[in-house]
Structure 1
Amino acid sequence: MISSVRRPRGSLEAEVLAVLAAAPEPLTPAAVQRALDQGAELAYTTVTTVLVRLHDKGLVTRERAGRAYLYAAVSGPDSVEVRVAARRMRKLLDSGADRRGVLARFVAELPADDEAVLADLLAQAERAPGSAAAGG
């Protein structure tokens, strides 16, 4: 019997990401479904849909394995935590009327070490081929 209890918005994505992050190797949708299936009886198609959406958001990688895909959580500088935090920062910045003011305040409140990191990142972005700052 399929449970009719609804999860809070985004919680299934978070659960799927947690399963993938804890896995020692990439998982198929069926393996993710088994790991999540603790009395909730999630449909395979639901798990697959969540995995595809996470892939589209850049939060998981996938590789073809026969007729299925193997999914893994993104790690390193593109980790889930980093991407989620960056997306939140971007949303907050986009919601403000005074974008320049928000950025100025943000930079003014950064510790010196973070300010130096930001300056280095901006310099790298300017040097990157095809960047708007580099005239590409």
Structure 2
Amino acid sequence: MLTLGELERAVMEILWSAGAPVTARDVQDALAHRQLATTTVLTVLGRLERKGLVTRERAGRAHHYRTVASREDHVAELMRDALDAAPDRGAALARFLGSIPEDERAALRNLLD
């Protein structure tokens, strides 16, 4: 199962929210409250690229980064991975359904119909 560290998740949130490819500087500016070095941001973006979550393209002197999949696609993949790891998928699904609010169970019923 692909796991993300806290900083990787923060960077992914920025990329998902951007709506267009962004530079490492854009990411660094969005995380200004953390006072990260440019090299740290580039390292995280490189890790995300190696994990297959981000692509980069050269535009002038800078690289522009974008996500490979939407936030929803990523969450769906995590859910599939979690189910694949369960020895009893039915039991895991039952526990999951028992843990979510009724309105979300109703939404699932509607999607299944």
Question: Which category of TM-score, normalised to the shorter sequence, fits these structures?
Answer: 0.5 to 0.7
User: What's the % identity of the aligned pairs?
Assistant: 44
How many pairs does the alignment contain? 98
Matching residue of 1:27? 22
2:59 corresponds to 1:59: no
The CA deviation at 1:45 is 1.3
Shift in CA distance, 104/63, structure 1 to aligned 2, threshold 3 Å: same
Q: Which one of the candidate residues 73, 82, 89 is aligned to 1:102?
A: 89
Matching residue of 1:93? 84
Runs of 5+ in structure 1 lacking a partner? 1-8, 117-136
Scaled by the length of structure 2, what TM-score is found? 0.62
- Aligned-residue Cα RMSD (Å) equals 3.1
- Higher-Rg structure is 1
CA distance in structure 2 between the aligned counterparts of 1:82 and 1:67, rounded to whole angstroms: 31
Secondary structure of the structure 1 residue equivalent to 2:36: coil
Scaled by the length of structure 1, what TM-score is found? 0.54
User: In 2, are the aligned partners of 1:59 and 1:79 still within 8 Å (CA)?
Assistant: no
User: In the alignment, residue 90 of structure 1 is paired with which amino acid?
Assistant: D
Which of the pair is proportionally richer in helix? 2
User: In 2, are the aligned partners of 1:28 and 1:68 still within 8 Å (CA)?
Assistant: yes
CA distance in structure 1 between the aligned counterparts of 2:58 and 2:82, rounded to whole angstroms: 33
Per-residue CA deviations over 1:31-61 (Å, capped at 9, x if unaligned) read 21112112x2101111111112222233223
Matching residue of 1:6? none
Q: Which has the higher contact order (CA 8 A, sep 6+)?
A: 2
